[in-house]
Structure 1
């Protein structure tokens, strides 16, 4: 599923630039993705769209504190929760987007979620809202820490 999401991010600049599900399924199949993987990704994206609509309706206060439920802790894992906290403290993941990330991460269902998969989810949340993360956040999402150059 995550490979399909990355492909969509790289090839469609916004969700509304994607063709309808039927045509997109054909395009993804032609590129070589498996039908099950495509359907899982499209279903996940439908959930992302619904979550984005709900986030606009009931936005948590900007100074809210997030308390994770035991199920969320198990599904997300320590490393992913730490990364979400890092993004929040850096001021790039406001509470409504944080909730979207948590919702979509727990929708994956298998835990604990790898940090690489969580980073893809964060990227897809930005993508779904038509927002481009700044260069430093993109670096954090894509470049492995051991590959970073210290100047």
Structure 2
């Protein structure tokens, strides 16, 4: 019991006060063309950001402490190839511009996502956590590196 109460006083690394979350059930058949961000997410976020008292708003496929087993295998450009069973994986979450601001999650380096990142023809952009950055780039920065 004592460990539980100590854990309750520990910061989770994101804002928990004055934060509202909502779940959107999205019918895949209506947005099967891959244009979901522009047609649905951006208009919803614009309306939420315009509400009185809202300081920041963003969307994510999964809240920080939820687990949905959405792991994605990856390789690091410039690293030697690994055996198939040794390829690392990371939990993947899609996030919109403003998500990190809304939860007051600090970016230690680099930048937030922008609407331009989702435009056709743009190279994919990722934001990695500190654990992945230290694992693969212990002597330097993850900025500019490719997964």
Mark yes or no: TM-score above 0.5. no
Structure whose residues are more often helix by fraction = 1
Q: Which has the higher contact order (CA 8 A, sep 6+)?
A: 1
* Larger gyration radius, structure 1 or structure 2: 2
- Bigger fraction of residues in strand: 2
Give the TM-score taking structure 1 as reference length: 0.28
The TM-score with structure 2 as length reference comes to 0.29
